[in-house]
Amino acid sequence: MVRGANGSGKTSLLRILAGLTSSYSGKLQHKFGDSKWNTGVSSGSIGWLGHKLGLKQDLSAIENLAIWNETYKQHGDISTALQKVELRNTQQRPVYTMSAGQKQRLALARLLLSNSQLWIMDEPGANLDSAGNKLIETLLQQHSEHGGIAIIASHDQINPDAPTSYIKLEQVATA
Amino acid sequence: MISQLKLIVFRDLLLATRSGGSWAQGSIFFILFIMLAAFALGPDQAERGFIAPALVWLAVTFASQLSLGQLFSEDLNDGSLECWVTDNRSLFVYVIGKLFSHWISNFAPILLLSPFAAIMLGADTSSVPILMISLLVGGPAIVLIGAMASALTANLRGAGLLIVLISGPLLASPLIFGVGAVQAGVINSVAMKLLGAISLFSLVLSPVISRLALKIHLE
């Protein structure tokens, strides 16, 4: 769990770890079985949830997930993913008609379909109510039980039950 | 790789059907341009027939640039591109898929309207097949040059004018040789060969530059 004040560099750190920002030197490795990934070189398959959710506004919830399911090639169960994020009743609605919280939940369903063992999440509790934050904690717990890990930038809304290490980023004053 | 390519094309065609007809912007502009050109040229059949191929080529060139503003910017702005890259999918395959789907949804309708436009402007019917061949050979260059400009400006708001300013000078060559190929009247003219060479050169250069530009925008 990465914490810190606004502007302390949480998002920048996560983007570097996800391999989206490659203009930094250094190497980061993490082993899942025989696979390892290096930032900026080969990021491997990462479940990424950033500020931008990766959803198409003109498509329905189920169409968005169907396309990502094909992309991830994991052939996950879309209905189960929607059920887990409590969006079964809105699955046929175009995304542009959904509330910000529902879109965030749909992005979480996309993450579930990715079946990646490493999740990198930037403020996953944004736009979610307390029930939504609780949902994230439950999903993190299940992810942890299946051997996965997550790197999360968050303020105090999310406190997972799974074993958690905390990193606090401090702002460095520059002249 | 092929399955990823097919997925991008399928997704974009599905989005085109839901976009409220934005894919038809170019075709509508093309029809309006040809109609107004026909009025402006007046009834002199001989004069109209001579410049009809040039006007069709000009209309195709402008019309094909209209919808390029959103080619890459939508995926960049809604985070789809970030998710694609972090899942270790090829950015190069993504660019090729986008180009192919744009060709099908935006350029192909304009291409299909071209023979009717040429006849409407009074072109000699014998010149229509060679006009179509020239557009098929030179069309890729027009789309690829525009796509390159679209990728370079993908992170800018209201980049439509900038795309035209970047691609405009580069589009002069296919336009010149395209019209030249029609005027030559034969399929194996020098102008047609040069037009094909420009398309092949664009096919090599445009995906590489587009991929690099998108990678920089993702940083």
Tell me how far apart the 2 most distant CA atoms of chain B are, in Å: 60
CA dihedral B150, B152, B154, B157 (to 10 degrees): -100
φ and ψ at A166, to 5 degrees?
-115, 135
User: In angstroms, rounded to a whole number, what is the distance separating the alpha carbons of residues A4 and A170?
Assistant: 6
User: In angstroms, rounded to a whole number, what is the distance separating the alpha carbons of residues A46 and A57?
Assistant: 23
Q: How many CA atoms lie within 13 A of A78 on its CB side?
A: 17
Name the residue facing B89 among A22, A55, A71 (closest C-beta).
A71
In a domain, B8, yes or no: no
Whether A59 and B18 lie within 8 Å, measured CB to CB: yes
Give the β-pairing of A167-169 and A2-4: parallel
In a domain, B202, yes or no: yes
Chain A contact for B11 (CB, 8 A cutoff): yes
Among A46, A64, A71, most B C-beta atoms within 10 A, so best to mutate, is: A71
Which of the given ranges, A127-131, B44-48, B213-217, has the highest pLDDT on average?
B213-217
For residue B73, count other CB atoms closer than 10 A to its CB.
20
Q: Which residues does chain A have within 8 Å of residue B84's beta carbon, measured at their own beta carbons?
A: 71
User: In angstroms, rounded to a whole number, what is the distance separating the alpha carbons of residues A60 and A1?
Assistant: 32
* Nearest of A141, A64, A160 to residue A106 by alpha carbon: A64
Q: What is the pLDDT of residues A70-100, one digit of tens each?
A: 888 777 788 888 888 888 888 788 999 999 9
Work out the average pLDDT over B123-148.
Answer: 93
Q: Which residue of B lies nearest to A52 if distances are taken between CA atoms?
A: B79
Q: Which residues does chain B have within 8 Å of residue A48's beta carbon, measured at their own beta carbons?
A: 82-83, 86-87
What is the DSSP secondary structure assignment for residue B67, as one 8-state letter? G
Whether A20 and B219 lie within 8 Å, measured CB to CB: yes
Chain A contact for B218 (CB, 8 A cutoff): yes
Q: What is the pLDDT of residues B78-132, one digit of tens each?
A: 999 988 888 878 899 999 999 999 999 999 999 999 999 999 888 888 889 999 9
In a domain, B38, yes or no: yes
3-state secondary structure of A62: helix
Banded model confidence at residue A165, pLDDT cuts 50, 70, 90: confident
3-state secondary structure of A34: coil
Chain A contact for B193 (CB, 8 A cutoff): no
Residue with the bigger pLDDT between A161 and A105: it is A105
Whether A114 and B87 lie within 8 Å, measured CB to CB: yes
> E strand or H helix at A143, and its extent?
helix A130-145
pLDDT averaged over every residue in chain A: 81
User: In angstroms, rounded to a whole number, what is the distance separating the alpha carbons of residues A105 and A84?
Assistant: 9
Q: Which residues does chain A have within 8 Å of residue B77's beta carbon, measured at their own beta carbons?
A: 52
How many residues comprise chain B?
219
How many residues comprise chain A?
175
Asked if A128 contacts A101 with a C-beta cutoff of 8 angstroms, the reply is: yes
Enclosing domain of residue B181: 22-218
pLDDT exceeds cutoff 80 at B185: yes
3-state secondary structure of B158: coil
Q: Which residues of A touch B (CB under 8 A)?
A: 18-23, 42-48, 50-59, 63, 67-68, 70-73, 94, 110, 114, 116, 120
3-state secondary structure of B182: helix
* Nearest of B148, B150, B138 to residue B205 by alpha carbon: B148
User: In angstroms, rounded to a whole number, what is the distance separating the alpha carbons of residues A107 and A47?
Assistant: 11
Chain A contact for B14 (CB, 8 A cutoff): yes
* Nearest of B205, B211, B101, B98 to residue B152 by alpha carbon: B211
User: In angstroms, rounded to a whole number, what is the distance separating the alpha carbons of residues A60 and A92?
Assistant: 5
Top CATH class of A52-169 equals alpha beta
Domain locations in chain A as residue ranges: 13-44, 52-169
Can you read off the two tokens belonging to residue B171? Answer: 């589009």
User: In angstroms, rounded to a whole number, what is the distance separating the alpha carbons of residues B123 and B130?
Assistant: 12
What is the reported pLDDT for B67?
81
In a domain, B36, yes or no: yes
Can you read off the two tokens belonging to residue A69? Answer: 């399911």
